[in-house]
Amino acid sequence: MPTELKHTTCAYCGVGCGIEATVNSTTRKVHIKGDGQHPANLGRLCSKGTALGDTLELEGRLLNPKINGQTADWDDALDTVAKGFSDIIEEHGPDAVAFYLSGQLLTEDYYVANKLMKGFIGSANIDTNSRLCMSSSVVGHKRAFGTDTVPGCYEDFEHSDLIVLVGSNTAWCHPVLFQRIKLHKEQNPNVKVVVIDPRKTATCEIADLHLPIQLGADVALFNGLLQYLDKNEYIDTQYVQAHCEGFDQARACANEAFHNLYELSNVCGLDIDDVNTFYQWFAETEKTVTLYSQGVNQSSSGTDKVNAIINCHLATGRIGRLGMGPFSMTGQPNAMGGREVGGLANTLAAHMDFEEDNIDRLNRFWNTDRVPPKAGLTAVDLFDAIDEGKIKAVWIMATNPVVSMPNANKVKSALEKCPLVVVSDCIAHTDTTRLATVALPATGWSEKDGTVTNSERRISRQRALLIPAGNARHDWWIISQVAQRMGFKSAFNYQTPAEIFKEHALLSGFENTTISQSKNSICPNQYRRRDFDISGLAHLTSQEYEHLQPIQWPVTEQSPNGTQRFFAAGEFYTASRKARFIAVQYKTPAHRISTDYPYKLNSGRIRDQWHTMTRTSLAPQLNQHIRAPYLEMHPDDAHVQSLKAGQIIRIESTWGKMLAKLSITPDTQKGHLFAPMHWTDELSRNGRVGPVINPAVDPISFQPESKHTPVKIEKFHGQWEALILTREKITVQDAEYQVYTKGDAHWQLQLSDEHSIDAPLLKLKEWLNIADTEDASTQSPQEVSYLHFEDRTQGVARIAGVNSNGTLNSIGFFQNTQQATHYQLPEVSWLSQQFKKDHLDDRSRAAILSGFAPIGEDMGAIICACFGVGEKSICKAIKEQSLTDTAGIGKTLKAGTNCGSCLPELKSLLAESAC
Amino acid sequence: MKAKLVLIGNGMAGGKLLEEIVATCADLYDITVFGNEPYGNYNRIMLSPLLAGDKTLDDIMINHRQWYTDHDIQLHAGKEKAIVKIDRARQQVIAADGSITPYHRLVIATGSQPFILPVEGAHLEGVISFRDIADVEKMITTAQSHRRAIVIGGGLLGLEAAMGLTTRGMQVTVVHNHDIPLNRQLDAQAGMLLKHELASRGLSFKLNASTHKIIGDEQGRVTAIQFDDGSKIETDLIVMAVGIRPNIELAKSSGVYCEKGIIVNDTLQTYDPRIYALGECIEHRGDTFGLVAPLYDQAKVLVNHLSEHGIARYQTLPTATKLKVTGIHLFSMGKFLESQHCETLIFQDDAQNIYKKLVIENETLVGVVLYGDTKEGAFYSELIDQHTNIKHIRPYLMFGRGLCDEMSITLGSPSPDASSSDTSTLDAASSIPHRTRPPIEQRSITVEKPKVVDCPKTLTVTGSA
């Protein structure tokens, strides 16, 4: 068999786990396991990564270019895109076009896109979904360090004595890193873990202390910490004086904010003793790592939160040394790579900003003169500009903003209006590809070839396991082709990702090696102008690129094997080479709750899904954990509102609404609500949280405040509910509430609506596209045969279809919620297994409309009709109780004791068992 | 000295009564039995399988003559020993041969007679009913020499006869006065399924038909049947299965009060306190009977009195019916037709020819039709009998006892699972509640179609409208 072992990197979160894939290229089957040699995971994988092999099916893939929904060849599609962009640029200028990219792109793709937009189109209107997850950290880093630098690495967790997890459900969102932390704690019982999160998440499993902080109050908490460190003399004055500036202002700001711990605890909504414990642990523990993630970033004060955390680490000098430091945990597999190439509207390239010398440098490097002088539009503004008609052409790559953006309905209507929407994706039907003028089939994870960078600055190869499906092409190739057709031939004449990577590496080292030290320095030294430098990889041969091992940047002549940590000895990338303390003040979230919108809606990931589920939902095992959008609410709030767990709730903000099933849990605070971010219009109707989320952004990072939106809730007065399982996905018009789930060999569809349905059995047949033939005998044997159950007065109808080859075709359960008081929709587990059988046996067939597996043993064919006693039961009794006559059978089972018609059969069964 | 007990009738009811007496109070009586047929006691229900060749005569025998001898019961079997008069004044019965037998207690169990349509030609040769072993023998003989048969009556008995004759190689047409067969037991949906099934086995139907006359040849043998619409079908044999009538001639002529049947009270006593009656010959609170289950219940009530316990009362309860044709499973009980206040649960699997209907009234199950899958018949029968409140098990009800039990929902009392009790050793005296029918484990449930003919007046599923 043509199987081959390949090493690659996981497609999902920012941990960036190494994968060992056994590939069968003929069957396109890939067996996934963790790469024991990869430093990020050392062999571990989470549920999502493990299931990658199940997401590679071709069903649902975009395999050909499409222009206005019609299949086109590549030439036409590329020409259409190139001409469309060129025409608009010619008429309206370069700022009338935009790219919206993704942390799922490889570094090489990202580099080419950034080069085309910033270097040749001449606009900085290129932003990315990293804006939604990372940009506050980027800006926070830059404010403090002068560059977007993650100072530490994963190993630091394993050398720390205190791990503070802020705004991170690490257990679900970065499971492999969580496993590493958990193991470290198990092996070192003295290690403490503090979780700072408004919700009691799965991560709290390992927490010694959980601080259920009010949404958005992190700045107050860390300002308080700085104040505590200062008052209790835990400041590393030597480090601060030698390597930092601005401490006094930051301290003053922190000290002014609150007069005492009591006041502060109140603002944070925390127990004063808990706060005190946290401060004390932090103060006394040298080896402390503070990991923060979207709970910090996705906020209108996200950047300030990042700096409030970094302030405390700078003040204690706990940065860049073994087992300590602030650690930004990124969400996407290659958000870091995107940052490195500069694929954000407010960065230029290779960790350079829009400064004159940088612009000049880049113009020279790229041999162009079009590098724009100023930053472009960031995500929210970018889609607003589309909405306003200022941007007339947008190219979206590898992301689904109609789902993931805040105020997502506005994004949708903006794209509907936009004259030219180009979407590159590997999936045919997403909420965004639906709106594409030109849809371009991109290669997917298993086919792409290039590099990604994880949260600890580790560059790893993502290798192609399979040849591209259909007419899919690599993103870098697509972009280069369009660039060439726009007239930029020589600059985009790339043949391989290795060439692109080398150019990227060259740029990182371009005029970056030496600058003379400032005048106060005792020993003049060489240092880098920019932290991001992989010039050590600029001369890789194709062979070396192919076999590149995971390596942490910077990679230079001096550090050819990479670099684990930054800043232990200062040397920051500010003009003064000193880190900057930032004086930050606690600000409440942008939009406050009110009597009309009294709840605070938080949003986030769930364990087994990734982003907008376009890929993870293809793996049935990942859909079992949580099958539908839900809303977490505290029991007291639910009680006051007379709400029951499982009922459908309408959640509404000023911006939009959604439907979700209520989950009542004390893990969410009173007044808070939580909804997952993942569901799309493809997989639900009204299940997107995006439209509800306010478009407030951080004033510096422009990252949206996805973790705090004032909302109100109301009961969804569902008149009926239905559960339908079908082998092929079906479309239903009549239900406002719809959730699709892909199971093994079938689709599940949950439905409900506020309008009643009078003839449910007919409606089920309509949904399942069944011709309503009254007379069973008229159906030809090739067709699906149907069985049904009805309780009309309770408004219950159920139907199942069996294919002529004996396999299950479909099952539908419908019930009127007002009438069917004792009926419940079934659990799907047993039902979904029936789709895997080659033949639905008679007992399962008879039971299937009950929703339950057949109960008890098979009694066999009925022998005694009076008492319903079957042949198998009789034989068993004869054998086990050594029965010898019919009277004995009668005594044991009652069989044959009434009408006596079965006595001859009983006698023959006795005779058979005797011999 | 023992009291003299005389039993007139050695059929299903009489036979059951004897078994009950033997089991409980044989020492009280000298028993004498008079039977019309020259056999011991056989299972009349099994005549259909006997006709179809599924069973032998030996298979259907319940008690041979030896059994009577073994239990000191005097059996007088045969036409010549038919009782022709009851001399109530002298407390004695007189047989056809003139022999006189005195009694202290008399039990009449004379059963019923097939109803013969009052049409021209009803008494031609080759026009028979389906009541006893002699009828079966006639049919078997005819099937050996003739090809075509008509069965008038699409009830249980008629269909069983028709299928039996088909099995014996005849081309059979069922003539019925309704648009589906078995309309007393089935609703339209199940009736259609049954019709399709029987048709696929070679049976022809003439439905919504009313017999005008029966035509014979010069030898007085049947040749054809003519209907009110003028159409005719040629035939070599006609089996009339259009219902039964209680056989009350003897009782009536002896001055025992009768209406449709011999009138009895709840202790099965006639207007003459020394005389009891049971089975298809009686009329109890306006009901007459045609299925075996009530007969067996009556036997148990009666023996309670004969054994001088004197507490049991008979109450009519709904009874289930079943068609005994190999491979056809159907079960019907109670009020299975929709009425104004009822609610129905329907299950249908066309490809498997399965149809089930449960009828609910006031949160209790009152009727059931099962076609194609009758496994749960006994369960529904219990629920109907015990008036179990099914509110909480309603979602599971259609899917049977196992699921209902599994869902941990109390099925009301007594538990239908109480299997400790044993029919054969039933202490009739102590265990029969005075008001209700015996609990399920003590009484007949799924009742085979008794040896009765489909007469609209009597072969209702007892207890239904």
In a mutagenesis test of the B interface, which of A901, A905, A906, A908 is the best target, namely the one with the most B β-carbons within 10 Å? A901
Strands A438-441 and A66-67: antiparallel
Backbone angles phi, psi at B415, to 5 degrees: -60, 130
- Alpha helix stretches (DSSP H) within A291-334: 294-297, 302-315
Q: Which CATH superfamily is domain A135-329 in?
A: Dimethylsulfoxide Reductase, domain 2 (3.40.228.10)
Instruction: Give tens-digit pLDDT for A856-874.
Output: 777 777 787 777 788 888 8
What H or E segment, with its residue span, contains residue B385? helix B377-385
* CA B145 to centroid of chain Cα atoms: 31
- What pLDDT is stored for residue A879 in this prediction? 87
Residue A644 has pLDDT above 60, yes or no: yes
What share of chain A in percent tops pLDDT 70?
96
What's the rounded Cα separation, in Å, for the pair A341 and A337?
A: 6
B351 contacts on A by Cβ (under 8 Å) = 776, 785-787, 802
Report residue A517's pLDDT band, with 50, 70 and 90 as the boundaries. Answer: low
Contact A862 B43 (CB under 8 A): no
Sign of the CA dihedral running B229, B233, B236, B241: negative
**Residues near B75 by beta carbon (within 8 Å), at least 6 away in sequence:** B10, B33, B35, B40, B65, B68
Task: Tell me the CA end-to-end span of chain B in Å, nearest whole number.
Answer: 48
Angle between helices A302-315 and A135-145 (to 10 degrees): 40
Contact A899 B402 (CB under 8 A): no
* d(CA A799, nearest CA chain B) in Å: 9
Structure tokens that stand for B252 in this block: 């009536």
> Do A6 and A463 meet the contact criterion of CB atoms below 8 Å apart?
yes
In a mutagenesis test of the A interface, which of B54, B300, B403, B404 is the best target, namely the one with the most A β-carbons within 10 Å? B403
The amino acid occupying position A862 is: I
Range(s) for CATH 3.50.50.60 in chain B? 3-45+54-113+245-306, 127-242
> Do B316 and B298 meet the contact criterion of CB atoms below 8 Å apart?
no
- What pLDDT is stored for residue A834 in this prediction? 92
Query: Between B348, B352, B375, which is nearest A862 by CB?
Result: B375
B354 contacts on A by Cβ (under 8 Å) = 787, 846
Structure tokens that stand for A644 in this block: 């029951």
What's the rounded Cα separation, in Å, for the pair A154 and A163?
A: 12
Angle between helices A356-366 and A497-509 (to 10 degrees): 140
CA dihedral defined by A514, A519, A524, A530, rounded to 10 degrees? -30
- What pLDDT is stored for residue B454 in this prediction? 30
What H or E segment, with its residue span, contains residue A852? none
B422 contacts on A by Cβ (under 8 Å) = 890-891
Residue closest to B94 by CA, chosen among B83, B106, B105: B83
**Ranges of chain B with pLDDT below 50:** 409-465
- What pLDDT is stored for residue B67 in this prediction? 94
* d(CA A829, nearest CA chain B) in Å: 17
> What Cα–Cα distance (Å) separates residue B272 from each residue in B89, B233, B256, B295, B300?
10, 49, 7, 21, 20
- What pLDDT is stored for residue B413 in this prediction? 40
- What pLDDT is stored for residue B433 in this prediction? 34
Peptide bond into B414 cis (omega under 30): yes
CATH level 3 topology of A862-914: Arc Repressor Mutant, subunit A (1.10.10)
Contact B377 A891 (CB under 8 A): no
The amino acid occupying position B183 is: N
Residue of B nearest to A862 (CA): B375
- What pLDDT is stored for residue A525 in this prediction? 57
DSSP for A562-612, please give it.
Answer: ------TT---SSTTSSEE---------SS---SSS-EEEEEE--TT--TT
Contact A849 B399 (CB under 8 A): yes
Query: Between A790, A847, A904, which is nearest B399 by CB?
Result: A847
Neighbours of B85 (CB within 10 A): 14
Across the A/B interface, how many CB contacts are shorter than 8 Å?
143
B292 contacts on A by Cβ (under 8 Å) = 899
Structure tokens that stand for A805 in this block: 């080859």
Report residue A516's pLDDT band, with 50, 70 and 90 as the boundaries. Answer: low
Residue closest to B302 by CA, chosen among B274, B272, B266: B266
Residue closest to B455 by CA, chosen among B155, B48, B47, B248: B155
Instruction: Give tens-digit pLDDT for A525-546.
Output: 567 788 999 999 999 999 999 9
* d(CA B433, nearest CA chain A) in Å: 19
Contact A788 B347 (CB under 8 A): yes
* d(CA B232, nearest CA chain A) in Å: 29
CATH code reported for the domain at A3-55: 3.30.200.210
Contact B62 A856 (CB under 8 A): no
Contact A898 B293 (CB under 8 A): yes
Contact A794 B293 (CB under 8 A): no
Contact A866 B448 (CB under 8 A): yes
Query: Between B376, B391, B403, which is nearest A868 by CB?
Result: B376
B196 contacts on A by Cβ (under 8 Å) = 777
Residue A781 has pLDDT above 80, yes or no: no
- What pLDDT is stored for residue B49 in this prediction? 87
Contact B349 A856 (CB under 8 A): no
In a mutagenesis test of the B interface, which of A866, A869, A889 is the best target, namely the one with the most B β-carbons within 10 Å? A866
Residue of A nearest to B361 (CA): A793
Helix (H, G, I), strand (E, B) or coil at B399: coil
A790 contacts on B by Cβ (under 8 Å) = 345-347
Upper half-sphere CA count for residue A244 (Cβ side, 13 Å): 30
Contact B352 A854 (CB under 8 A): no
> Do A127 and A377 meet the contact criterion of CB atoms below 8 Å apart?
yes
Helix (H, G, I), strand (E, B) or coil at A379: helix
DSSP structural state of residue A117: I
What's the rounded Cα separation, in Å, for the pair A637 and A632?
A: 11
The top-level CATH class assigned to B127-242 is alpha beta
What's the rounded Cα separation, in Å, for the pair B355 and A392?
A: 63
Exposure class string for A653-686: b at 16+ Cβ within 10 A, else e: bebbbbbbbbbbbebbbebbbbbbbbbbbbbbbb
* d(CA B296, nearest CA chain A) in Å: 9
What's the rounded Cα separation, in Å, for the pair B17 and B229?
A: 47
- What pLDDT is stored for residue B335 in this prediction? 87
Helix (H, G, I), strand (E, B) or coil at A226: helix
* CA B253 to centroid of chain Cα atoms: 25
* d(CA B121, nearest CA chain A) in Å: 36
Contact B422 A891 (CB under 8 A): yes
Query: Between A793, A794, A900, which is nearest B62 by CB?
Result: A900
What's the rounded Cα separation, in Å, for the pair B107 and B276?
A: 5
What H or E segment, with its residue span, contains residue A737? strand A737-743
DSSP for B244-293, please give it.
Answer: EEE--HHHHHTT--BSSSEEE-TT-B-SSTTEEE-STTEEETTB---SHH
Neighbours of A273 (CB within 10 A): 10
Helix (H, G, I), strand (E, B) or coil at A115: helix
Q: Which residue has the tokens 């309309």?
A: B183
Which architecture characterizes domain B3-45+54-113+245-306 according to CATH? 3-Layer(bba) Sandwich (3.50)
* d(CA A621, nearest CA chain B) in Å: 28
* d(CA B74, nearest CA chain A) in Å: 24
What's the rounded Cα separation, in Å, for the pair B305 and B460?
A: 28
What's the rounded Cα separation, in Å, for the pair A302 and A294?
A: 9
Contact B45 A899 (CB under 8 A): yes
Domain ranges of chain A: 3-55, 66-134+334-512+532-552, 135-329, 599-715, 720-850, 862-914
* d(CA B335, nearest CA chain A) in Å: 17
B419 contacts on A by Cβ (under 8 Å) = 893-894
A872 contacts on B by Cβ (under 8 Å) = none
What's the rounded Cα separation, in Å, for the pair A504 and A496?
A: 13
CATH level 3 topology of B320-442: Enolase-like; domain 1 (3.30.390)
Residue closest to B34 by CA, chosen among B91, B112, B93, B88: B93
The top-level CATH class assigned to A599-715 is mainly beta
Upper half-sphere CA count for residue A157 (Cβ side, 13 Å): 26
> Do A39 and A448 meet the contact criterion of CB atoms below 8 Å apart?
no
Angle between helices A247-257 and A302-315 (to 10 degrees): 110
Residue A119 has pLDDT above 80, yes or no: yes
Instruction: Give tens-digit pLDDT for A48-102.
Output: 888 888 888 888 899 999 999 999 999 999 999 999 999 999 999 999 999 999 9
ipTM above 0.90, yes or no: no
Contact A785 B396 (CB under 8 A): no
DSSP for B200-257, please give it.
Answer: HTT-EEE-S--EEEEEE-TTSBEEEEEETTS-EEE-SEEEE-S-EEE--HHHHHTT--
What's the rounded Cα separation, in Å, for the pair A174 and A329?
A: 8
B52 contacts on A by Cβ (under 8 Å) = none
Range(s) for CATH 3.30.390.30 in chain B? 320-442
- What pLDDT is stored for residue A688 in this prediction? 85
Question: What is the value of pTM for the model shown?
Answer: 0.78
Edge-to-edge strands, sheet with B232-234: B211-216, B222-227, B232-234
* d(CA B27, nearest CA chain A) in Å: 24
> Do A813 and A787 meet the contact criterion of CB atoms below 8 Å apart?
no
Strands A126-128 and A97-101: parallel
What's the rounded Cα separation, in Å, for the pair B262 and B108?
A: 9
- Alpha helix stretches (DSSP H) within A735-800: 760-767
> Do B394 and B400 meet the contact criterion of CB atoms below 8 Å apart?
no
